[in-house]
Amino acid sequence: MKIKYTLLHKDENSEARYGTLQTNYGTFETPMFMPVGTKATVKSLSPEELKEAGSGVILSNTYHLWLRPGEDIVDKCGGLHKFMNWNGPILTDSGGFQVFSLAKNKEKDITEEGVHFKSHIDGSKLFLTPEKSIQIQNKLDSDIAMSFDECPPFPVTHDYMKKSVERTLRWAARGKAVHNNPNQSLFGIVQGGKFQDLREYSCKETVKMDFDGYSIGGTSVGEDKETMYKMIDYGIKYLPKDKVRYLMGVGDPIDIIEGVIRGVDIFDCVLPTRIARHGQAFTRTGKINFNNAKYKEDLSPVEEGCDCYTCKNFSKAYVRHLITTDEMLGGRLLSIHNIRFLIKLTEEIREAIKENRLLEYREEFIKKYESNNKKND
């Protein structure tokens, strides 16, 4: 079946929404954070560990799975769920972000038909079209597929962005025309960079195509925070209230709160596992860097009061030992904690929305998070 979003409550003091997302694998509350399993795995974590952390929907990457092991292998294994043993919803991105980062000559390599680029694995020449991206995702059999969009760099001129938006709209229509998996929902992606008129235009034209959900693209690509928040504001008001809204590639705790306040429902990002592999952890008082010698004899958990496996079983001193000796368990334990931290954050956000106190929650969270952030470095 297609996913179904139900709006249950809107915060009285902001655009924040509490709702549910009905999927083939159950119904999940929103706002939610989705861990990223780029190559059909959230780096170093098992499905059981993700479930224990409270994960609902997880994300995998079309580009990487196309190259290795290939969509045909995944299809022969019974689809992505059976391949990675994940008994929950999966969203696959289109591969567009990776492809455009690999296209060296933007004017030459990005054509109306598709994108020419070289494999990051062996340098072989590849060509990806909107139709091919959707066909790959059909075979992967994810619950949610993403349209193939052009991902412009930041910043670009208004003229460049206008042409890019128009191409993305044409590509969205082409992809939608070949989408043929009845159990898979298809999301449209809105672009427009920092330009208010183009964000509005992109949203209105994408909505006309009647996708199952809508993604806000082109953020978190190098712009400052204020610009990113404006990008969300410029377009989200034109998205339908009965469809889910997805902010792509955003995983900073404050950015998640700010996105929810503006009406976003779901988020994804590699940030929690990436910073974990570098010895960093999210806490209510800012990020902790375990390379810091002050944690060498600290017997307290990564965060007091956290209910994750790491905090219930290990001390800061032990985690620091693992990180500074390059033991892989260190990154695993911090990944578990960081993912649980963001999922717990969205759980608290949902309660704040239901009680119409999200703006107060934001102020309390930021005051504690930012005031102590520098002390933890």
How many other C-beta atoms are found inside a 10 Å radius of the C-beta of residue 122? 7
Which of 141, 159, 268, 298 is labelled catalytic?
268
Specify whether 268 is catalytic. yes
Q: At what angle do helices 253-261 and 358-371 cross, to 10 degrees?
A: 160
Strands 185-190 and 144-146: parallel
Of 11, 75, 93, 159, which one is the catalytic site residue?
Answer: 93
Q: Which residues are catalytic?
A: 93, 268
